[in-house]
Amino acid sequence: MKLIDRLSGQLGISKKKAKALLDRRLVFVNARRVWIASFEVGPCDVIEVAGDPGDNRSTAGAGPRTLYEDENLLVIDKPAGLLSVGPGSAEILLRKTMKNREISACHRLDRDTSGVMVLAKNRVGLEKMEKLFKERGVKKTYLALVAGRVQFDQKTVDSPLEGQPSVSSFTLLEAGAEASLLEVRIATGRTHQIRKHLQGLGLHLIGEKEYDLGTVRKEIFRKAARQMLHSCSLSFADPFKPGTIEVRAEPPEDFKRIAGQAGLKISHWRSSHQ
């Protein structure tokens, strides 16, 4: 039987909805992630779906929350599942709700990465922020939940990506038997930089869908509907007046839930940022 047929019948959903789950890489066959609709499965194969198919909390059903705003800039807490740019994105939603066609993303977060994101409200703001990002004047900090017990306290990866310099610094906040919590600071912003640099260290995010396709043995990790990566803070010199803009966003509920199930305490991060 084809996987899409088994999935449709098992969940009592249409093939179109089953295909959407496969396209989002949320389906496991015998604890391995599979997204090919025609994949052949037998009666003894175990089919699982990450998260709850009827739960929209980790999808684009949730809108962005404003963390900071002035006449030129807007900083939001982007939910996982929402694109940064393009149709249906945070950028487009904010243009509509704020009735401002000039709103533009100054950088991007992956669809499944949550957290702090900066947008400009006008052309001048966009130009100044793009210059800051290009000159590495924006300090970006992430929280990452990785599978397994990390053995280092701090490690910096200086490994080119896309033919460009790429630097990521990883600091261990807490190591558990099944997972570890890392603070990540990046000096550059290449596509999937954190995920690729983690792969180079032999590590991967819980919920990783592209850079680790082996067997996911822990059920709680298979339930993660997205990669556990959260942009927790951004800071930069205000490009319009003296002073620094620093904005933080608490990890969302799914991140805290997975961390708690893995025996990790997000409070360790809070105390380190007070």
Catalytic residues: 110
Spatial contact of 72 and 78, defined as CB atoms under 8 Å apart: no
Q: Any bridge partners for residue 80, and if so which?
A: none
Spatial contact of 148 and 119, defined as CB atoms under 8 Å apart: no
What single letter denotes the amino acid at residue 59? T
Three-class DSSP category at 256: helix
- In angstroms, the CA 85 to CA 98 distance is 16
User: Residue 21: enclosing H or E segment and its boundaries?
Assistant: helix 15-23
Phi-psi region of 33 (alpha: psi -120 to 50; beta: other; left: phi over 0): beta
For 89-158, the DSSP string reads SHHHHHHHHTT-TT-EESS---TT-EEEEEEESSHHHHHHHHHHHHTT-EEEEEEEEEES----SEEEEE
- Return the number of other C-beta atoms located less than 10 Å from residue 259's C-beta: 23
- In angstroms, the CA 257 to CA 255 distance is 5
Q: What angle do CA 220, 151, 263 make, to 5 degrees?
A: 30
Spatial contact of 181 and 272, defined as CB atoms under 8 Å apart: no
Closest alpha carbon to 252 in 13, 77, 131: 77
